[in-house]
Amino acid sequence: MKDVMKYQEFIGSVHYSAEDEIFYGKLEGIDDLIMFEGESVKELNSAFKDAVEDYQELCKQAGKQVSKSYKGSFNIRIDPDLHKKAARRSVELGLSLNQLVEKAIANILQDSADN
């Protein structure tokens, strides 16, 4: 697992600056840049929760959607040989390449939910 924090439906990235001797992070999966920081894990956790609650309140006041909207399409870059293998396998299975990738993502997300 990566260095993340979770609170309600929000995920926050977690980093450490050795130069500044501070933990910091940002809310992920939103359209805005919301940062938080703390000198200890306890402070970071508190700042993260405060950032989430403040962001929710700001969105409510502005009548704005809290979560980032996704359009359902994205570009990926993969090794050309892997691309070839995926394209061939999709034909063998009678799927489009998009359907194969969607199934693969769904499977890995289901596996992670089971763990």
Residue ranges of domains in the chain, CATH in brackets: 4-62 (3.30.160), 80-114 (no CATH)
Q: Do 101 and 109 meet the contact criterion of CB atoms below 8 Å apart?
A: no
Q: What is the mean pLDDT of the chain?
A: 93
Q: Which two tokens stand for residue 54?
A: 């403040």
Its pTM stands at: 0.73
Q: Which of 24-33, 36-45, 78-87, 105-114 has the lowest mean pLDDT?
A: 105-114
How many Cβ atoms from other residues are within 10 Å of residue 67's Cβ?
11
Q: Are strands 15-17 and 35-38 parallel, antiparallel or unpaired?
A: unpaired
Q: Do 11 and 28 meet the contact criterion of CB atoms below 8 Å apart?
A: yes
The DSSP secondary-structure symbol of 6 reads E
Per-residue pLDDT tens over the stretch 12-62: 999 999 999 999 999 999 999 999 999 999 999 999 999 999 999 999 999
| pLDDT exceeds cutoff 90 at 2 | no
How confident is the model over 76-84, as a mean pLDDT?
95
